[in-house]
Amino acid sequence: MFREQMSVDERSRGQSYCRRPRKGNTLIIVLIVLAIIAILAAMLLPALMRARQQARKAKCKSQLKMIGLGLHMFASDHEDKFPESLEQLVTLKYLSGEQVLECPSRKGGAPGESDYVYLKGLSLESGPEEPVAFDKKGNHPDGRNVLFVDGHVQWLEEAEFQKRFGHLER
């Protein structure tokens, strides 16, 4: 009965709310959502790259620590003297493989070639703060990991490295 009293005009107005949205509006909404996702991805990308570089530095530090352990095992078997080369540690099985000698941040180089500068002629009697090995220049964009005779590894910014150990670089 109530419907019969409504005019044709009023009925058509009530039906306008039930119409389906145009397809053009749907496309615009999809494009806006994609633009928002792209902006969020652009904001997160630098943070992800920094986290990735930090992980590479940590792995490099871990590998230098393993090299230090290999050097100390070698020295305990060879009158407290370190080997002539890092490759000798791999050959004599003090290190598990050549991949330990490759920095995860390496920018090229021959496979099997060490990415660390090794200072031969040292022994366990050398000062504990004497560097034994360190990253080659360019392995990391902002500094280097340094292995010391006592076995600890320290990250140094490039300027600090150059000030303390720049004279050792080949």
Mean per-residue pLDDT pooled into runs of 10, the chain (170 residues): 54 55 75 94 89 90 94 92 91 88 77 82 88 90 92 92 83
Write down the pTM of the prediction: 0.73
Map out the domains of the chain as residue ranges: 2-168
Give the chain as a 3 state SS string: CHHHHCCHHHHHHHHHCCCCCCHHHHHHHHHHHHHHHHHHHHHHHHHHHHHHHHHHHHHHHHHHHHHHHHHHHHHHHCCCECCCCHHHHHHCCCCCCHHHHCCCCCCCCCCCCCCEEECCCCECCCCCCCEEEEECCCCCCCEEEEEECCCCEEEEEHHHHHHHHHHHCC
pLDDT the model gives residue 76: 93
